[in-house]
């Protein structure tokens, strides 16, 4: 029995993902300073989600509530590499396969388009084990980087 579904966003859902993104920032990304969260809200706004180079998946509960999302940028000029910017799952839905499925669908989609590698930065130590578990390899560390956080660079070859 499927408790959730995952689909690419439609243009009509841009406002919903923008609102969900902003709520998640203020709820689950408190390790970012408030002024940075406010900047993120301006960068990843409805205009961003309408861009053709944006790839966004939404996970929804059976009742239609947004319970997770994955935001990535399509590869630049056939570079073959995709960068995942954000992966978020509502706390009540964690450890139920939502994030794994968001990644698996993304990997499958981009593999069909000729992408050979997906990268992401992880700055929350709680996520490190998860990325390793789903096949991402640590490629490096940006120490004391943006906002004095350590950013671990993970990648997966498709």
pLDDT > 90? residue 82: yes
Q: Chain-centre distance of CA 55, in angstroms?
A: 10
Across the chain, mean pLDDT equals 90
Domains of the chain: 4-157 (3.40.630.30)
Report the predicted TM-score, pTM, of the whole model to 2 decimal places.
0.89
C-alpha span between 8 and 31 (Å, rounded) = 28
C-alpha span between 22 and 40 (Å, rounded) = 8
Q: What is the pLDDT of residues 90-131, one digit of tens each?
A: 999 999 999 999 999 999 999 999 999 999 999 888 899 999
- Residues contacting residue 28 through CB under 8 Å, at least 6 positions apart: 88, 91
pLDDT > 60? residue 43: yes
């Amino acid at each position: 029995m499927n408790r959730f579904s995952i689909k690419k966003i439609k243009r009509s859902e841009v406002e919903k993902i923008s609102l969900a993104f902003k709520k998640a920032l203020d709820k689950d990304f408190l390790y970012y300073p408030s002024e940075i969260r406010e900047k993120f809200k301006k960068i990843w706004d409805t205009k961003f989600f309408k861009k053709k180079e944006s790839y966004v998946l939404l996970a929804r509960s059976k009742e239609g509530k947004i319970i997770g999302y994955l935001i990535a940028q399509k590869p630049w000029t056939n570079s073959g590499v995709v960068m995942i910017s954000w992966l978020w799952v509502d706390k009540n839905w964690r450890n139920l396969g939502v994030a794994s499925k968001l990644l698996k669908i993304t990997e499958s989609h981009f593999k069909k388009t000729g992408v050979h590698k997906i990268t992401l930065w992880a700055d929350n130590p709680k996520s490190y084990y998860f990325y390793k578990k789903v096949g991402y390899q640590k490629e490096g560390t940006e120490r004391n980087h943006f906002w004095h956080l350590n950013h671990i660079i993970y990648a997966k070859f498709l």
